Structure 1
Amino acid sequence: MNSANGAAVVVGVDGSESSLRAVRLAAVEAAHRNRPLRIVHGFIWPLLRVPVNAPAGGPPGAGLRHQAEQVVTEAAAEAEATVPGLRISGEIIDGEAAAVLLGEAPAAAMIVLGDRGLGGFSALVVGSVAVQVAVHADCPVLVARGTDRADGPVVVGVDGSEAARLAAEFAIEAASVRGAPLVALHAYQHPASTGPGDMQPLVHDEGELRSEEERVVAESTAGLGERWPDVPVRRETTRGRPTTVLAEASRRARLLVVGREGRGELTGLLLGSVSQSLLHHADCLVAVIRAPR
């Protein structure tokens, strides 16, 4: 995460109800972190050489650029109503949605997006915008989806990787500002063969296997309790596919946090089945955290 003074929480807007939900979420996140809110609208029409200004003799307020200005104005009003007095700025930036948001990422504390949209943000979670932003953004990406809950834990998926460690740090901070407990959840399966000549035994010592998996969770969360003593931390290991286990955990969570690169089933998170399942089926907010390059 960009921790520089003044780094804003950035929210992408397009005028849809989903993006207004993202604005409300982003406003609260900015207030929790004492950061400004930056509202951004990717304005693709100039790239397509479509006339964007009002036609001569047209009615007041006509034209695509005026519509874009209204989108940003409405979003700013929604943010102000959500958190009165919040430092808010807005900008229309010519370009395709994902490119515009990725351009914001290096200086952002976080990017917040809705899970459905209009225009450049259409089908956000199932299309290319979400994949591009979450895979390439140099900051956490928070997707407003699922059910908004006032109770329940923050859940973080951990696997012993550096990305999971950073996800756990993000998650416990998020739990602290929400006054929520943290559940560090690790899903595991029996070892499998990785190729010819690497056959795994058919019988495993369940006790040894569980001890090893519990060590993974402990490593991913080591020291967090001392840094955030106000947050109760529960560590869980569960046998099963990460996709299934994390999606099920999201049904009781306020927020689900995952690392973008991991080990085993979490490797290449946003490019594989785990991420697609979570972004489609998680029943709460989803935050994706990347490890430094």
Structure 2
Amino acid sequence: MDTTTLVPESVDGHVILAFDGSPDSERAVRWAVEIAQDLKCPLTVVTARDLSRQWPAMVGGSQEWDDVASERLGRATAQVGQHGGLAPQVIATKQPPVQALRDLSTTARMVVLGARGHTRVGGTLVGSVSQHLVQHASCSVAVVREPASTQSRDVVVGVDGSEENQAAVKLAFEVAAARGVGVVAVFGWHPDSGERPIGRLPLSGDVVDHVHAGEQLVEAAVEPWQRRYPGVEVLVEAVPIHPSRLLSDASAHRGLVVVGSRGRGAFTGMLLGSVSQSVLAHAHSPVIVAR
């Protein structure tokens, strides 16, 4: 296998795993294999020259980079084999990682990367590459961190009733069906902000009315996917708690959170909604930003 491939034959519909040799990227290997199997997609492993913070001090020329890239990709490929027997395509590139992954995302099914790589800043929960990519990628992006709990592998999906949000609901059901787990579809709102579950519903002091309206909104959003995946058990929740906190709290007890890239109330031109940004920063499980 040529582990220094610079131009892939194709990554159409592939799951792309960004690998820089950091502990977080190694943690993402098994997850990437699993999601590729769930979605029945080929897997491509990518390493980029400046994913490593040690690069300027340890490598000077192209031959040295070839050696580093070959070692990284060989290690990643071996780990992929241990976790599922897939034979991934591999790519080593001298492009900046964000540029390389953005380019690949135009035809890929999903990009998977660790929450933090070698370039992370101390104390941050999501690295700069992850932060940039979830905003600018053309496909879904999964940011992997070790789940806080292994008691439930159910998939949590944030629902807001918007058309853009359907990509997240669809993906949540696809993954849950493949894994034989349930979907927890949640809608949250801040009771003190003047928000309400449905714009047409008059705001009253009766929280029960708003909970019921929120449940109806969620049920309408998941109904097409329940029909398509009848074996997936669905739990509907509408809670007067800000959606970012609701999803972050739910992630502490579930295996995965799926959110949309934008939703209701997003400004025109906004690349990533505020709820999605907050969930990425505070979640206790892997997060997929769906597109």
Matches within 5 A, 1:252-271: 252-264=253-265, 270=272
Q: What corresponds to 2:4 in structure 1? A: none
Change (3 A) 1:168 1:97: same
Q: What corresponds to 2:213 in structure 1? A: 212
Q: Return the alpha-carbon distance in structure 2 between the equivalents of residues 243 and 232 of structure 1.
A: 23
* 1:284 Cα offset (Å): 0.9
Q: Which moved more, 1:184-193 or 1:139-148?
A: 184-193
Q: What corresponds to 2:14 in structure 1? A: 8
Q: Which amino acid aligns with 2:20?
A: D
For residue 222 of structure 1, give the secondary structure of its aligned residue in structure 2.
helix
2:51 pairs with 1:40 = no
Matches within 5 A, 1:173-184: 173-184=174-185
Q: What corresponds to 2:62 in structure 1? A: 53
Q: Return the alpha-carbon distance in structure 2 between the equivalents of residues 189 and 30 of structure 1.
A: 36
| TM-score in terms of structure 2 length | 0.82
| TM-score in terms of structure 1 length | 0.82
Q: Which moved more, 1:232-241 or 1:212-221?
A: 212-221
Q: Return the alpha-carbon distance in structure 2 between the equivalents of residues 28 and 229 of structure 1.
A: 22
Matches within 5 A, 1:151-162: 151-162=152-163
Q: What corresponds to 1:57 in structure 2? A: none
Change (3 A) 1:193 1:27: closer
Q: Does the aligned pair in 1 maintain the 2:11–2:104 contact within 8 Å? A: no
Matches within 5 A, 1:24-103: 24-44=30-50, 51-54=60-63, 63-84=64-85, 86-103=86-103
Change (3 A) 1:18 1:289: same
Q: Return the alpha-carbon distance in structure 2 between the equivalents of residues 253 and 183 of structure 1.
A: 9
* 1:108 Cα offset (Å): 0.9
Q: Which amino acid aligns with 1:140?
A: S
Q: Return the alpha-carbon distance in structure 2 between the equivalents of residues 76 and 91 of structure 1.
A: 11
Q: Which amino acid aligns with 2:272?
A: L
Q: Which moved more, 1:278-287 or 1:97-106?
A: 278-287
Q: Which amino acid aligns with 1:43?
A: R
Change (3 A) 1:271 1:259: closer
For residue 66 of structure 2, give the secondary structure of its aligned residue in structure 1.
helix
Q: Which amino acid aligns with 1:229?
A: P
* 1:80 Cα offset (Å): 0.9
* 1:162 Cα offset (Å): 1.7
Q: What corresponds to 2:114 in structure 1? A: 114
Q: Does the aligned pair in 2 maintain the 1:44–1:97 contact within 8 Å? A: yes
Change (3 A) 1:157 1:279: same
* 1:107 Cα offset (Å): 1.6
Q: Cα RMSD over matched residues?
A: 3.0
Task: Tell me which stretches of 4 or more aligned residues in structure 1 moved more than 6 Å.
Answer: 121-124
Q: Does the aligned pair in 1 maintain the 2:276–2:289 contact within 8 Å? A: no
For residue 162 of structure 1, give the secondary structure of its aligned residue in structure 2.
coil
> 1:26-74, CA deviations, whole angstroms, 9 ceiling, x for partnerless residues?
11211222221100011249xx9x73235xxxxxxxx233112211111
Q: Which moved more, 1:16-25 or 1:208-217?
A: 208-217
Q: Does the aligned pair in 1 maintain the 2:27–2:145 contact within 8 Å? A: no
Instruction: Provide the identity percentage.
Output: 33
Change (3 A) 1:152 1:128: closer
* 1:166 Cα offset (Å): 1.4
* 1:126 Cα offset (Å): 3.4
* 1:271 Cα offset (Å): 5.4
Q: Which moved more, 1:174-183 or 1:129-138?
A: 129-138
Q: Does the aligned pair in 2 maintain the 1:258–1:288 contact within 8 Å? A: yes
Q: Does the aligned pair in 2 maintain the 1:258–1:289 contact within 8 Å? A: yes
Q: Return the alpha-carbon distance in structure 1 between the equivalents of residues 203 and 106 of structure 2.
A: 48
Q: Return the alpha-carbon distance in structure 1 between the equivalents of residues 17 and 121 of structure 2.
A: 15
Change (3 A) 1:77 1:203: same
2:222 pairs with 1:221 = yes
Q: Return the alpha-carbon distance in structure 1 between the equivalents of residues 157 and 203 of structure 2.
A: 31
